[in-house]
Amino acid sequence: MLAAALLSLALLGSAHACSTGPLSMAGIVCRITKPALLVLNQETAKVIQTVFQRASYPDIKGEKTMMLLGQVKYGLHNIQISHLSITGSQVELTEAKTIDISIQNTSATFKGTLNYGYTSAWGLSIDQSVDFEIDSAIDLQINSQLICDSGRVQTNAPGCYLSFHKLLLHLHGERNPGWIKRLFTSFISFTLKLVLQGQVCKEISVISNIMADFVQSRAANILSSGDIGVDISLTRWPVVTATYLESHHKGHFIYKNISEDLVLPTFSPSLLGESRMLYFWFSEQVLDSLAKAAFQDGRLTLSLTGDKFKEALETWGFTINQESFSELFNSCTPSLAQVTVHCLTRPRISCQKKGVVVSSSVMVQFLFPHPDGLVAHTFEEDVITTIQASYSQKKLFLSLLDFQVTPRNASKEAESSSVAVQSFLQSMIAAVGIPEVMARLQVALTAFMNSKGLHLFNIINPEIITQDGFLLLQMDFGFPEHLLVDFLQSLS
């Protein structure tokens, strides 16, 4: 279950200050439930195998007084693991304390070289070197804590124990190894057990925190693009209950290394359930900050030129009024026309039960060909849209539930046009412009998420739910094999 404990850190970011108080102020909350940990447990063997292989086993040296032989000096050198198999593992969450991981029947074979020497009572000096194998059967018990140390989330294992059911020595090339085996059984085996336990437990701690850093970097990367990033610092210590792990994050968006340190809303644990594997809670403040960062970066623009403009009209079934059409194009081809849309001020985002409400002021400019050049018709509009989102077949879908368009200003060219032309352009904004922006936005967001590897996850029955003041994602998932592969490759 070590893999479960480690991979559960995927959303646990670094922290500048970690509160232990009863209230949680957060912009983003991640909850991983017990069923999810059991799924993550499937690949425990690969992580444990890496632990044993990476562990550095020091030479074991000593001496022992034996009858007739006198003082016997010995050393086990070049100790390496050559085989490992794991029968099973279990995990339990201890309320407000630890993640208890039990790994049963780990069969391990160690190889190395045994050097020994002595001077007998008759003055005969012997120095011998033989290869050896040690067959062992081991149970591991790990009591792991998620802690906040030096401003970052790390793992701590206050309890790490190896229980040996079997420890057998096989010597190669020794004609009469009986007395060496007896020496090993009576003395060396005790020292060897201590060395193995110390080194394996040490490596478990090292790999746990390497993976913590690995997945924290992945989480931050998923939420970043160009000059836009997100502060996923923890606002309090991770919460461990008998049924879930939970982390609380700032969620402030960063633009060009500058972040607004906004007052965070209060999160209540009752807002999330325990029936799904994974929950993400986003306050509307996080979504609003994202909109601001996207506006600052100049990403909220759309330009359709020539055939793309004509294709958009046909896609949304817009019927062109022939009289208005002729007045606008003045007998020129529509393929020379173009339209641009951009936000005048930063959009505002709020979450309500009916959906995500986006309020924005936009400028829409139509450029139509004319014998004397392009004629521009410009409109400023206040637009309020209500959107619901869903995710299926590895694609994001945005559904437009409602919208309101309120005219603000228009250019002199637009005002001097006939009433029919003005009505034609306004209806084009509503019937073509808003749906086209929505369609292009869902394609762009899907492409962005896939570029971060989201399509590699086996996400099962995801739900995107909006409530007053927050947005909730809840889902089940299959084991993220690619994430573990990437991590293990990073260790090699």
User: In the prediction, which pLDDT does 328 show?
Assistant: 67
Residue 242 is assigned to a structural domain of this protein? yes
322 and 216 inside one domain: no
Residue 23 is assigned to a structural domain of this protein? no
Which residues is 230 bridged to in the sheet?
253
The answer to whether 41 and 3 have CB atoms below 8 angstroms apart is yes
195 and 239 inside one domain: no
User: In the prediction, which pLDDT does 8 show?
Assistant: 37
274 and 418 inside one domain: yes
User: At 102, phi and psi to the nearest 5?
Assistant: -120, 125
> Where residue 192 sits, what CATH number does that domain have?
3.15.10.10
Q: How far apart are CA 143 and CA 205, in angstroms?
A: 11
* Residue at a domain's end among 187, 221, 255: 221
50 and 184 inside one domain: yes
Q: How far apart are CA 27 and CA 29, in angstroms?
A: 7
User: In the prediction, which pLDDT does 9 show?
Assistant: 34
Residue 322 is assigned to a structural domain of this protein? yes
* Residue at a domain's end among 177, 194, 221: 221
User: In total, how many domains does the chain have?
Assistant: 2
216 and 234 inside one domain: no
* Residue at a domain's end among 221, 245, 261: 221
Residue 486 is assigned to a structural domain of this protein? no
* Local confidence pLDDT in tens for the 492 residues of the chain: 333 333 333 333 333 445 655 668 899 999 999 888 888 777 777 788 888 888 899 998 888 777 666 777 888 899 998 888 888 788 888 776 778 888 888 899 999 998 888 776 666 677 888 888 889 999 988 888 776 665 556 677 778 888 988 888 888 765 555 666 666 666 778 888 889 899 998 888 888 888 777 777 777 788 788 999 988 888 888 888 889 988 888 888 889 988 888 899 999 999 999 999 999 999 999 999 999 999 999 999 988 887 787 777 777 777 665 566 666 666 566 667 788 889 999 999 999 999 999 999 999 888 877 777 777 888 899 999 999 999 999 999 999 999 998 888 878 776 777 777 777 778 878 878 888 888 989 999 999 989 988 888 889 999 999 999 999 999 998 887 877 788 778 776
> Where residue 442 sits, what CATH number does that domain have?
3.15.20.10
Q: CA 115 → CA 32, 68, 77, 174, distances in Å?
A: 51, 19, 8, 12
Q: CA 59 → CA 45, 54, 196, 371, distances in Å?
A: 26, 16, 11, 90
Instruction: Look up tokens 């074979």; give the residue.
Output: 109
Residue 7 is assigned to a structural domain of this protein? no
110 and 247 inside one domain: no
323 and 305 inside one domain: yes
The answer to whether 236 and 21 have CB atoms below 8 angstroms apart is yes
179 and 287 inside one domain: no
User: In the prediction, which pLDDT does 442 show?
Assistant: 92
121 and 268 inside one domain: no
Instruction: For residue 102, give its domain range.
Output: 34-221
Residue 311 is assigned to a structural domain of this protein? yes
The answer to whether 285 and 27 have CB atoms below 8 angstroms apart is yes
* Nearest Cα to Cα of residue 305 among 344, 335, 333: 335
Residue at 77: amino acid letter: H
241 and 293 inside one domain: yes
217 and 248 inside one domain: no
User: In the prediction, which pLDDT does 178 show?
Assistant: 67
Residue 487 is assigned to a structural domain of this protein? no
Which positions ≥6 away from 375 have C-beta within 8 Å? 367, 368, 369, 413
204 and 243 inside one domain: no
Residue 251 is assigned to a structural domain of this protein? yes
